Amino acid sequence: LYQLLPKDRSRPPVVWHWIPIFGSAASYGQDPIKFYRDCAEKYGNVFTFILLGRRVTVTLGIEGNNFVLGGKHTDLCAEDAYTPLTTPVFGKDVVYDCPNELLMEQKKFVKFGLRTENFRAYVGMIEEEVTGFMKNQDHFRVFQMNDINEWGSFDVLDVMSEITILTASRTLQGREVRDHITADYAEVFADLDGGFTPMHWLFPSLPLPSYRKRDIAHKKISDFYINIIRKRRESNVGLEEPDMISSLMDQKYRSGRALKDHEIAHIMIALLMAGQHTSSATGSWLLVHIADNPDVGEALYQEQVKHFRLPNGTWRTMEFEEIKDLPILDSVIRETLRMHPPIHSIMRKVRNDIPVPPTLGAPSENGTYIVPTGDFVWSSPAVSQLDPRVWKNANVWDPTRWSDPEGVAAAAGRAYENSEGPKVDFGFGLVSKGTESPYQPFGAGRHRCIGEQFAYLQLSTVVTTLIRQVELKLAGPLPDPNYQTLITLPKKPRNILYRRRKFD
Ligand code: HEM
């Protein structure tokens, strides 16, 4: 009944719900994108919904993205929004468990470890890991039998999750971590990962086994990194392969203080967690769509043949710089991230009452909505990336929209004229960096992802190494997205069929 009482007109409209506190949790949880669209139809691009006692104000569209991502961090705060989830998993004194100025310094340290010089070495390492995986893991049993006529099958998320952790460990995380990926380690990682769910964001500490396991796993993994750091400091031997731990060990805050061992350990855990599900989800959707579009698979393969196949039939490793000049690969990755951004909603918490620009939504011609202190504000790149007012055939996976007529269209044998491409100029580079863009799979502004270049390198190398060896086709219909997980993953069944390529 309280919803029928006269309201403060300066507050955004509240989504109608039957149960007070519980609010719209059920319809949001089932399919947040549908929920946002339905609400936008009823209330406009700014509305508030109740989620288990929290007030969440959603701002949609390009302006909504800009409102959240371009907001001042003193008004819209990321750490207040994320810390209940991230601090127990990443650990103390890093990322959102420290003042924002320190996070900005930590991001610079990490960027130093993600420099081009390191990336050059990573391509070969990733290729080696994927090739080894295909030779040795049961998922590729039919491939190992050398039979070019028989199709095998794998669960795409299982395969991409394993490959992502192996390749990230071998490159970013370093030799010691890679060599430690055993069944025991996988179990501890799974326990930590079990603490990275929407439920743990809503209820950061409960007397349940998954919470206890999360805390024990955090301690074990943190100690594991601290030991590596100590051993490296003691032995003082230079590394053959560059990695993130070594670059963090050399960094100093502006105050002149070096990073403490536990800070390095916790940054390493944060990078592991930030990259694992985002990249394995994207890699899975990539393979799903390539398998569903064999003409694009063939075009990708021919692009590899053209640039990297040697006259004797073997393959040359891609140079990091060359990856950016492969238009088919590039457009396939962009298009997958357009349709399946792994993070569908980006969150901040309001520290000071904040007015909403009237063009985004207003109670009356002269009025302004004010989002009150304590509300969460969320934007959703997933909504703007699928908006039919921005994208032609928004719900169709069509990489040709990103490329020039000589690119994917010609190679894939498709008519580029069928797809006008985006109606927004994204310029060059991987993606637009603006907070006003409708395309934000990596976020924008102050908290923009620092892993984009690494993810792009990792996904490119993983996919091309697979495509060089096998043809793919989808075993069933396109999988549905699972929104119950923090990252949008493909639901089961999600099997992909593969067959060893016949070399001419
Ligand atoms: C932040 C997406 C891979 C590290 C973000 C944000 C998005 C995102 C949307 C912004 C969150 C916000 O504004 O609240 C992705 C996607 C990836 C990916 C789609 C892969 C396809 C990675 C990788 C790493 C990484 C591989 C590490 C090597 C981070 C970190 C932040 C971040 C540390 C926090 C930045 C901050 O709050 O200032 N990512 N990410 N990400 N990402 Fe990524």
Pairing, β 495-500 against β 470-474? antiparallel
Q: Which numbered atom of ligand 1 lies nearest the CA of 103?
A: 38
DSSP string covering 287-321, please?
HHHHHH-HHHHHHHHHHHHHHHB-TTS-BPPPPHH
CA 208 to chain centre: 28
Say how many Å lie between the CA of residue 273 and the centre of ligand 1. Answer: 10
Residue nearest to atom 30 of ligand 1 (CA): 449
Give the distance (Å) from ligand 1 centre to CA of residue 342.
Answer: 10
C-alpha distances out from residue 262 to 185, 230, 259, 462, Å: 19, 11, 8, 31
pLDDT in tens, the chain (504 residues): 666 665 777 999 999 999 999 999 999 999 999 999 999 999 999 999 999 999 999 999 989 999 999 999 999 999 999 999 999 999 999 999 999 999 999 999 999 989 888 899 999 999 999 999 999 999 999 999 988 889 999 999 999 999 999 999 999 988 888 888 877 788 899 999 999 999 999 999 999 999 999 999 999 999 999 999 999 888 876 666 778 999 999 999 999 999 999 999 999 999 999 999 999 999 999 999 999 999 999 999 999 999 999 999 899 999 999 998 898 999 999 999 999 999 999 999 999 999 999 999 999 888 999 999 999 999 999 999 999 888 888 899 999 888 654 443 343 333 323 333 333 333 333 344 578 888 899 999 999 999 999 999 999 999 999 999 999 999 999 999 999 889 999 999 999 999 999 875
Question: Which of 335, 439, 449 maximizes ligand 1 atoms within 8 Å of its Cβ, making it the mutation to test the pocket?
Answer: 449
> Could you identify the atom of ligand 1 that is nearest to the CA of residue 78?
14
Torsion 290-294-295-301 (CA) sign? positive
Give residue 317 CA to ligand 1 midpoint distance, Å.
27
Q: Whose CA is nearest to atom 41 of ligand 1?
A: 451
Q: How far is the CA of 72 from the centre of ligand 1 (A)?
A: 19
Nearest CA to ligand 1 atom 42: 449
Give the dihedral of Cα atoms 135, 136, 138, 143; nearest 10 deg.
10
- Report the separation in Å between the CA atom of 193 and the middle of ligand 1, taken as the mean of its atom positions: 16
Q: Which residues line ligand 1 at a C-beta cut-off of 6 Å?
A: 78, 103, 107, 270-271, 274-275, 278-279, 282, 342-343, 346, 441-443, 447, 449-451, 454-455
Ligand 1 midpoint to CA 452 (Å) = 7
Question: Which atom, in ligand 1's list, is nearest to the CA of 347?
Answer: 14
Q: Which residues pair with 252 in a beta bridge?
A: 258
**Probe ligand 1: pick from 85, 243, 278, max atoms within 8 Å of CB?**
278
User: Considering just the CA atoms, what is the radius of gyration of the chain in Å?
Assistant: 23
Distance between CA atoms of residues 378 and 380, nearest Å: 7
Cβ–Cβ < 8 Å for 352, 373: yes
Cα dist from 153 to 90, 407, 482, 501, whole Å? 35, 30, 21, 15
The closest residue, in CA terms, to atom 35 on ligand 1 is 447
The CA 312 to ligand 1 mean position distance, Å, reads 41
